[in-house]
Amino acid sequence: MGKIMQRLVIVLVLALTLISPLETVSSAASETVRAAEAGGENHTDPVISDVKDSDCENTDTAMPDNENPGADEPDTVEPQPVLQGLIRDENGNLFYYKDGVKIKNTWKAVSGSKYYFGKSGKAYVGKRKVGKATYYFSVNGKRKTGWRTINGKKYYFSPKNGKMVTGKKTISHYLCYFSEKGVLLRKIDKNKKMVALTYDDGPSIYTPRILKTLKENNSVATFFVVGNRVPMYSDTVKKAYDMGCEIGNHTYEHKSLPNLSETEVKRQISKTNKEVKKAIGEKPVIMRPTGGATNTNIKKWVGMPSIIWSVDTLDWKTRNADSTRRAVLNRVKDGDIVLMHDLYSATATASETIIPELVRRGYQLVTVSELAECRGGMKETGAYYSFRK
C-alpha cells in the first residue's frame, strides 16, 4: 500500500509540471485580450519584422544551365564578313573591294576582263574617257574592243589597248576614216572595185555642184587646183577637203612644165602649195603636170608623185554632158584614174549621172592617194596612170 501511494505522488507531480506552462501562456493571452477589449491607450500592436529572401532557406534543388531552358544566356555577336572583289549595290552599281575598302581611280583586271573604277569607286559604263584616251565599257563594266555602234554611230576600239581610234586607220582589209570624236566617216573595202575621179583646172562656180553630187552618194574625188584660182574659191576648196576629197597641185598658172627651168617649176609648185595650205591647213601630197607633160627631171623637181590618167573624157574639148558620161561609163575599169575638168557646167551635169551610176555598179569612188594606198602605194618621183590590178 505504501508503494502504491508513492507512485501516485510521482505521477501527480509530473502532471503538474506539464500543466503549469500552459496555464502561464493561457493567462498571458487572456490578459492581452482583456486589454484590447478595454481599448486602453497603452496598447501596442505586435511588431512583424520584414522578411528578406536572403533570410529564407532555399530548399529548391538547382538545375544545371544546360537543363534549364529559362536560364538567361549572354548575347553572341557574329563577326561581319570583309567585302572582297566585285560587289554590286542595291542600285545596280558595281564596285571592287580589297580587304573591305573600295578601290578608286584605277584599272582592275578580274577573270580576264578589265574594269575601270572612278572617283566614287563605281565601275565605268558606256563610252568614257580615262586620262586622254576614250574607252568603251559594257553594262557590266567590262572594257570592250572592236567595232561598237553607239547611238547609231560607229566607233572602233583597239583590240591592243582598248583605246578609241581617230583619224585614218587600216582595220583588217578596210581603210577607215574616223572623226576627232571617233565617229566612222568612211570605210573603203580594199577587196572591192574602186575608181578615182579627178577634176582639173578649178576651182570654179561649178565645183559646188560636183561636191553636192559626191556627198549625196557618199563618195569623194580628187581636185587638182590651179594655185592662182584658190584665193577666189578658198571656201569651196575647204568644203571639198572637209568632205574627204583630196586637193592636188596643178601648178600656179597652168604652165607646161617641160618648157620651164628648174627654178620656175619649183616656183609653180611651191606657190600653189602655199595657197592650198592657207585654205585647208596642209600642203598637197600629189600633183598633176599641165597636160600630163612630164619627164625625169620634172618628176624629181616637183618633189611628189605625178598623177596622169587612164580614162580621158575630153570634156574640155566636147563640153558635152552626154559625151562625157559615155566616155566614163563605157570604158571605166577597176583601178582607173578618170580625167575631167570642173571648169565646165557640162562636166558638172555629167557628174550627176556618172557618180551614182558607178556606185550602183559596185565601184567605190575614192581619192587618188586612197586608191594608191589600197593598191601598193606610190613613190615620190613616180608617175602613175592607173592602179588597175
Q: State which H helix or E strand residue 30 sits in.
A: helix 2-38
Which residues in the chain are classed under CATH 2.10.270.10? 85-189
pLDDT, tens digit (0-9, with 9 covering 90-100), for 297-342: 999 999 999 999 999 999 999 999 999 999 999 999 999 999 999 9
Say which of 250, 315, 336, 341 is annotated catalytic. Answer: 341
pLDDT, tens digit (0-9, with 9 covering 90-100), for 223-277: 999 999 999 999 999 999 999 999 999 999 999 999 999 999 999 999 999 999 9
CATH code reported for the domain at 194-384: 3.20.20.370
- Residue 39, pLDDT > 70, answer no
The residue assigned the cell 574617257 is 129
Mention every residue, 6+ apart, whose C-beta is less than 8 A from residue 266: 301, 302, 303
The pLDDT of residue 48 is 36
Annotation marks residue 341 as catalytic = yes
3-state SS class at 316: helix
Q: In whole numbers, what is the pLDDT of the chain averaged over residues?
A: 88
Q: Which three cell numbers stand for residue 201?
A: 583646172
The pLDDT of residue 32 is 39
Annotation marks residue 312 as catalytic = no
User: Which of 31-40, 200-209, 296-305 shows the lowest mean pLDDT across its residues?
Assistant: 31-40
Say which of 200, 201, 315, 342 is annotated catalytic. Answer: 200
Per-residue confidence band for 60, with pLDDT thresholds at 50, 70 and 90: very low
CATH code reported for the domain at 85-189: 2.10.270.10
The pLDDT of residue 78 is 73
pLDDT, tens digit (0-9, with 9 covering 90-100), for 211-227: 999 999 999 999 999 99
* pTM more than 0.85: no
